Amino acid sequence: MTGIALVRSELTKSVTSRPALILALVAILGTWVMAWTNAASAVGIAPDDPRLFAAEPIPLEYQGFEMAGFGYVLVVALAALSAGSEYGAGQQIRVTLLATPQRPRVFFVKVLLLATTVAGVGFLTMAGTVVITHAAGSTGVDPLELTPAIWANIGGVALAWTFTALIAFALGSLARSAILPLILITPLVVGVGDFVTGFWDGARYLPIAAGAALYSDPAAGLLAPLAGGLVQAAWALVLLVIAGIVFNRRDP
Amino acid sequence: MIEVSHLVKRHGHRTVVDDVSFTALPGRVTGLLGPNGAGKSSTLRILLGLDRATSGVATIDGSPYRSLSRPLLSVGAMLGGPGAHAGRTARAHLTWVAQSNAIPERRVDEVLEYTGLRDAARRRIGGFSLGMGQRLGIAAALLGDPRVLVLDEPTNGLDPDGIRWTRRLLRSLADEGKVVLVSSHLMTEREDTADDFVVIARGRVVASGAAADVTGSHRTLEDAFFALTDEGADFRSTGPDGGTR
């Protein structure tokens, strides 16, 4: 009874938060629009066309996934906000814990809802993006019958976004602010991780680069998909456990 | 009944609550009084399970707050304002609070009406005045129609009409047989409302009991308050002669 009540309550908090709704909608719809303009203008171009910067064609099962970056940033913001909004000027955390003093339960439900939301947003964003990419460009892939490899990559994005969101949430919860995860995670998401991977092999184990292995062309030089997923999951798990313990013990 | 027994809270070497004990009884308004920084809010935060005590116990009807599974049905509280996100409407805030304890959502409308916020229900809390925010905090505290009310400085920032409304509210809740514990740094604020007083300074209880017990040999309750808490105040203004007042 109280578990369901808590889920309903946290769900209401999410859907009545205008920034969270806007971030989720812009992640989905914004990426779709960008995929449409990108695909309509470039996907059908021959790989040796001088208008392309790279002569190497992107394998079909990875086409459209370069669009993931935009939504990724918004999902990090959504997760950071989910943790930080409890500690803003209104100090909502006081009322949250007065209503449910069983802190591990509060933490668990928040994590569960964020993971479900981000997985859903990630799946919708990328499924729509890939369908649009193949529908708008002459790629040879039927947009209504995507291959298993493409579906696996869509699932990979949803998973990577979810793990990253949980990492951002854990950092936000530890710092009691949305600022820390935005400062730490956003640069990694927008390409600093890829840049570092270029000259330091160990960077493949950084959380975002590890997660990118779940949906990236192996030619990118990242970890194997399964290994990457496990490494990113481990990052998320460790940080969540630390954040959960601190949340349970600390005076808010 | 609220029972606080030998409560101690230390932050490092600083003791903010020092062996505080008192009770608050049903049908009575108990005023927890002291200057800013005396330890009132810390005591209430421990009572409500937000902070952990270094030692001692605080219980509500015999149970620690953290052990209550739907606490809002037995305890309503407001600590340092409404604790509401500025971007949410009053109704949305009260709705999630009600849902967390499986309180029927019709109660949201009832407490909005009761606290005079019905017309502001769909307004964002960020646009609320201080007084409206306090009313919203009280509305949330009343959602579960609890037996025990704990309100930290509920009249802070209220206009005279709001102060009078709060006084009447506290009185009527006590008259219904509820336990009402309310803190303030203004003795005059609680003098007309409270039945029992707990005066706290520098983390210690310096006097407690009915008005006559606390007044003792002093001329008024307010004189007693200043005499008792004089050394415990964070700030004192100085007169032209350099003396404190």
Please answer whether residues B2 and B60 qualify as being in contact, where contact means their C-beta atoms are separated by less than 8 angstroms.
Answer: yes
Residue with more model confidence, B23 or B156: B23
Q: Which residue of A has its CA nearest to B82?
A: A90
Mean pLDDT, rounded, of chain B: 89
| Greatest distance between any 2 Cα atoms in chain A | 64
Q: Which residue of A has its CA nearest to B140?
A: A95
pLDDT over 90 at B70, yes or no: yes
Q: From the candidates B14, B75, B99, B152, which should be mutated to test the interface with A, based on the most A CB atoms within 10 A?
A: B99
Query: Do A99 and B101 count as a contact with CB atoms less than 8 A apart?
Result: yes
Angle at CA B241, nearest 5°, toward B239 and B242? Answer: 65
**Residue A49 confidence class, pLDDT cut points 50, 70, 90:** low
pLDDT tens digit string along B129-150? 988 999 999 999 999 999 999 9
Query: Do B89 and A94 count as a contact with CB atoms less than 8 A apart?
Result: no
ipTM: 0.90
pLDDT tens digit string along A218-236? 777 888 999 999 999 999 9
The per-residue pLDDT for A89 is 79
**Residue A122 confidence class, pLDDT cut points 50, 70, 90:** very high
- Tell me the HSE value of A95 on the side-chain side, using a 13 A CA sphere: 31
Q: How far apart are CA B212 and CA B206, in angstroms?
A: 15
Give the minimum alpha-carbon distance from A142 to chain B in angstroms, rounded to a whole number. Answer: 44
Out of A6, A85, A102, closest to residue B85 by CB: A85
- The answer, for B45 touching chain A at a CB cutoff of 8 Å, is yes
Give the minimum alpha-carbon distance from B217 to chain A in angstroms, rounded to a whole number. Answer: 40
Q: Which residues, in sequence order, are CB contacts of B237 under 8 Å at separation 6+?
A: B244, B245
B150, β-bridge pairs: B77, B181
Q: How far apart are CA B5 and CA B24, in angstroms?
A: 12
- The answer, for B210 touching chain A at a CB cutoff of 8 Å, is no
Kindly report, as residue ranges, where domains of CATH 3.40.50.300 are found in chain B.
2-61+147-231
Query: Do B72 and A18 count as a contact with CB atoms less than 8 A apart?
Result: no
The per-residue pLDDT for A52 is 58
What residues in A contact B68, CB-CB < 8 Å?
Answer: 101
pLDDT over 60 at B241, yes or no: no
What residues in B contact A91, CB-CB < 8 Å?
Answer: 80-81, 83
pLDDT tens digit string along A238-250? 999 999 999 999 9
What average pLDDT does the segment B72-98 reach?
94
Least confident of A25-29, A132-136, A207-211, B185-189: B185-189
Query: Do A251 and B52 count as a contact with CB atoms less than 8 A apart?
Result: yes
The per-residue pLDDT for A144 is 80
Fold classified for B2-61+147-231: Rossmann fold (3.40.50)
Out of A1, A96, A98, closest to residue B102 by CB: A1
Domain count, chain A: 1
What residues in B contact A100, CB-CB < 8 Å?
Answer: 71, 100
Give the minimum alpha-carbon distance from A107 to chain B in angstroms, rounded to a whole number. Answer: 14
Q: Which residue of A has its CA nearest to B87?
A: A17
The per-residue pLDDT for A48 is 61
Burial of A113 (0-12, 13-18, 19+ CB in 10 A): middle
Please answer whether residues B116 and B90 qualify as being in contact, where contact means their C-beta atoms are separated by less than 8 angstroms.
Answer: no
- The answer, for B69 touching chain A at a CB cutoff of 8 Å, is yes
Q: What DSSP element (H or E) covers B183?
A: strand B179-184
**Residue B244 confidence class, pLDDT cut points 50, 70, 90:** very low
Q: Which residue of B has its CA nearest to A85?
A: B85
Q: Which residue of B has its CA nearest to A15?
A: B92
Residue with more model confidence, A93 or B227: A93
pLDDT over 70 at A108, yes or no: yes
For A228, the token pair is 């990457």
Cα B130 to Cα A130, B121, B159: the distances in Å are 50, 16, 9
Q: Which residue of A has its CA nearest to B103?
A: A5
What residues in B contact A85, CB-CB < 8 Å?
Answer: 85
Least confident of A75-89, A236-250, B183-197: B183-197
Query: Do B86 and A1 count as a contact with CB atoms less than 8 A apart?
Result: no
CB atoms near residue A112 (< 10 Å): 12
**Residue B94 confidence class, pLDDT cut points 50, 70, 90:** very high
- The answer, for B102 touching chain A at a CB cutoff of 8 Å, is yes
What average pLDDT does the segment A16-25 reach?
90
Least confident of A79-83, A111-115, A195-199, B115-119: A195-199
Ramachandran assignment for B216, one of left (phi > 0), alpha (psi -120 to 50 degrees), beta (any other):
left
What average pLDDT does the segment B232-238 reach?
50
Residue with more model confidence, B236 or A210: A210
Give the minimum alpha-carbon distance from B139 to chain A in angstroms, rounded to a whole number. Answer: 12
- The answer, for B244 touching chain A at a CB cutoff of 8 Å, is no
A vs B: CB pairs below 8 A: 94
Out of B68, B89, B99, closest to residue A101 by CB: B68
Query: Do B79 and A6 count as a contact with CB atoms less than 8 A apart?
Result: no
The per-residue pLDDT for A54 is 56
The per-residue pLDDT for B2 is 96
Q: How far apart are CA A8 and CA A48, in angstroms?
A: 54
The per-residue pLDDT for B242 is 44
Q: Which domain holds residue A187?
A: 3-249
